Chain A
Amino acid sequence: MAEIITKVTTYLSYPFVQYALIVGVLIALCSSLLGVTLVLKRFSFIGDGLSHVAFGAMAIAAVLKLTNNMPLVLVITIICAVLLLRTGQNTKIKGDASIAMISVGALALGYLLMHVFEPSNNLSGDVCSTLFGSTSILTLSQLDVWLCIILSIIVVAVFILFYNKIFAVTFDENFARATGTRAGLYNLLIAVVIAVIIVLAMNLVGSLLISALVIFPALSAMRIFKSFKSVTICSAVLSVVCSLAGILISVACETPVGSTIVAVDIIVFFVFMILGKILTFKK
């Protein structure tokens, strides 16, 4: 045990591990904030869908040999997020089906593009790291970290400022619209924020595991807490704690960062589920 602690403290003195911790915690915080809304709007899988879109966009960027693929990926992901969330409650193809369509489509096309044009020699390696997250969180530059900090501050600020409106639109879109809230605008806002979070989070956990970051803390919090505010706060705290724990464990045990974080999230979910059962039983 003492050995592990020494190992972790040694690692913590390296700047790249510190960067990873900062970025990891910020992404966890941001992704959990909108998780509650997404779960309730039956959009749990949007993280998955959009991250596949981002994967497809990355493939396009790779084929075009762009050195900085961030802007292209961000733009394409935002457009898809807007298309998915725009129509909200009143869409014809329901949320889950449209997400499945876009998700599978983008994944297949992205892989096809990469295969046909073979931009790099290590194709399966590239695909694997895009899907499951790479060690790229350990190779972040100072610029990446600052970008992440700034975007996170914006996301959190937007969320706090529009918290009441997001609540109204999530709980009852038609009522909000009928009483003069610009529901369309806020749905758009939610979509853009989600897209930004997902592109950010792809660095950390890879596209397949983003959904976990978005939904697990929210679902865990919903087992126990009863008001929107307490659920939101609890899921933010849970998410931060789980990622922190996940990153530290992965450093200590040399496991993949993304999967370790998700594993911690899963454990916490079961703990909360059991706690929730006990609490209702007591009543």
Chain B
Amino acid sequence: MAQLKCENLSLGYDGTEILSGLSFEVNRGDYLCIVGENGSGKTTLMKTILGLRQPLSGKVVFGDGLKKNSIGYLPQQTDVQKDFPASVWEIVLSGCQGGMGLRPFYNKEDKKLALENIEKMRLSDLKKRCYRELSGGQQQRVLLARALCATGDILLLDEPVAGLDPKVTAEMYEIISSLNRDYNTTIIMISHDIQAALRYAGKILHIGDRVFFGTKEEYLESEASQSFGKGGA
């Protein structure tokens, strides 16, 4: 059974529909890239999958043992975070929050998990450092480690390389790929970078005027890629 299934979704806000009749499914270990023009509803789709907003119609179904609150999420950075006084350790640990329910404090397992993910993201040296003093790439790795504390099953990434320089961007893609390859983590990523999407992803979801969902080989032959590819992406 699919880990995540979207059935006939319609998305929009304030009563305006921006996307309708969207259906696709994601299986364990998939690497799906969501591409499309600005304003086509990529982030809205992701927020709907996460349950942060309600679809206008249709539904999102979880399967294959995936629970609603065991989704890892790497959001775009907010203004608040830019001058937030918090150590790397505190932020990564806060990823364990979802599974805690009303329990007020972190236990040994939470701390162990946080430590593992800090090592996995090669952040051990920065553990005590202040988040706002890190470079963009390091900050993204911190947020990724936090997302991994929430789950190792499925990660949703909203433009994880926005604002990073080419070298760090490549590193970031490599880390994400290795999570997918080595730990069988399902990846759903929003990207502006169509070249990278085609290089790393297994499946493509293109939304906008034309909707496409399929493997990247199929995508390359489809019409959706033609119109988007010429757009200078």
Contact surface of A with B, Cβ cutoff 8 Å: 36, 40-42, 89, 160-165, 167-168, 170-172, 174-181, 222, 225-229, 231
Contacts and interface: CB of A to CB of B under 8 A. Distances in A.
Given A177-B51, A226-B87, 19 more contacts: A40-B84, A160-B104, A164-B104, A168-B94, A170-B80, A172-B75, A175-B146, A176-B94, A176-B97, A177-B50, A178-B51, A178-B73, A179-B98, A180-B70, A226-B85, A226-B129, A227-B90, A228-B84, A231-B85
Given A164-B97, A164-B105, A181-B98, A171 B52 contact: no
30 contacts: A40-B83, A160-B104, A164-B94, A164-B100, A164-B104, A165-B97, A168-B94, A168-B97, A170-B80, A171-B86, A172-B81, A172-B94, A174-B47, A174-B73, A175-B73, A175-B75, A175-B146, A175-B147, A178-B51, A178-B73, A179-B70, A179-B73, A180-B68, A226-B85, A227-B85, A227-B89, A227-B128, A228-B84, A228-B85, A228-B90
A231 B80 CA distance: 16
A180 B47 CA distance: 13
Nearest to A229: B90
B105 A179 contact: no
Contact of A171 (B72, B94, B128): B94
B229 interface: no
Contacts of A222: 85
Given A164-B94, A167-B94, A172 B78 contact: yes
Contacts of A176: 94, 97-98
Interface residues of B, number: 41
B36 interface: no
- A contact patch SS: helix
Nearest to B97: A168
Contacts of B9: none
Contacts of A164: 94, 97, 100, 104-106
A10 B97 CA distance: 52
- A-B complex: 5 closest residue pairs judged by Cβ atoms: A180-B69, A179-B98, A226-B130, A227-B87, A180-B98
Nearest to B95: A179
B60 interface: no
Contacts of A226: 85, 87, 129-130, 133
Interface string B28-47: 00000000000000000001
B207 interface: no
B90 A181 contact: no
A131 to B, nearest CB: 31
A164 B91 CA distance: 10
A171 B81 contact: yes
Interface in B49-108: 50-52, 68-73, 75, 78-81, 83-87, 89-91, 94-95, 97-100, 104-106
A171 B133 CA distance: 16
Contact of A179 (B71, B84, B90): B71
A116 B73 CA distance: 55
Contacts of A170: 80, 84
Which of A160, A175, A222 lies at the interface centre, i.e. has the most chain B CB atoms within 10 A of its CB? A175
B150 interface: yes
Interface in B147-205: 147, 150-151, 156
A171 B105 contact: no
A178 B50 contact: yes
Contacts of A168: 94, 97
B82 to A, nearest CB: 10
A174 B87 CA distance: 19
B233 to A, nearest CB: 26
A179 B87 contact: no
A172 B74 CA distance: 10
A228 B80 contact: no
A41 B80 contact: yes
